[in-house]
């Protein structure tokens, strides 16, 4: 076998700009707004479901209340985490680089290739445009 084709991850990084900071802030604020909406929906549905449960089987009320409270707690924890992320976003230094996730790429390797160099590949973005490939 002379070569092998592999699928490997590529890190995506973004250069921090004013535009990126604003975009991240908008996305986080939208996620917080969605979590608030979900909390309202949970509370609205909880009242109805709790009333139905009370009529059918009062013994199941405690378990149902715990389940509802657990769902509400997940949303509250998400909101707290998102609020912290929003604060962090405001303090990002212009020109610094942040991780934006990974993508998969297909590569062909052969004997003698530097695997560490291949696996450390990155794509650098600035305002959504690719400005560099790094390896």
Q: Are 42 and 35 in contact (CB under 8 A)?
A: no
User: Please, which residues bridge with residue 94 across strands?
Assistant: none
Q: Residue 15: what pLDDT?
A: 96
Q: Residue 100: what pLDDT?
A: 94
Q: Are 21 and 122 in contact (CB under 8 A)?
A: no
Residue 26 structure tokens? 């908008």
- Which residues of the chain register pLDDT less than 70? 58
Q: Residue 50: what pLDDT?
A: 81
pTM for the complete prediction? Answer: 0.75
Q: Tens of pLDDT along 66-97?
A: 898 999 999 999 999 999 999 999 999 999 99
């Amino acid at each position: 076998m002379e070569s092998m084709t592999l699928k490997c991850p590529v890190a995506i990084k973004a250069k921090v700009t004013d535009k990126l900071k604003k975009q991240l802030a908008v996305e986080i604020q939208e996620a917080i707004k969605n979590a608030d909406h979900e909390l309202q929906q949970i509370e609205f549905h909880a009242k109805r479901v709790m009333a139905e449960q009370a009529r059918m089987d009062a013994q199941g009320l405690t378990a149902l209340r715990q389940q509802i409270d657990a769902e509400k707690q997940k949303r509250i924890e998400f909101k707290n985490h998102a609020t912290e992320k929003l604060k962090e976003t405001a303090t990002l230094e212009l020109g610094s680089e942040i991780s934006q996730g990974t993508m998969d790429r297909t590569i062909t390797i052969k004997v003698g290739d530097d695997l560490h160099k291949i696996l450390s590949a990155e794509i650098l973005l600035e305002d959504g445009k690719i400005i560099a490939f790094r390896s």
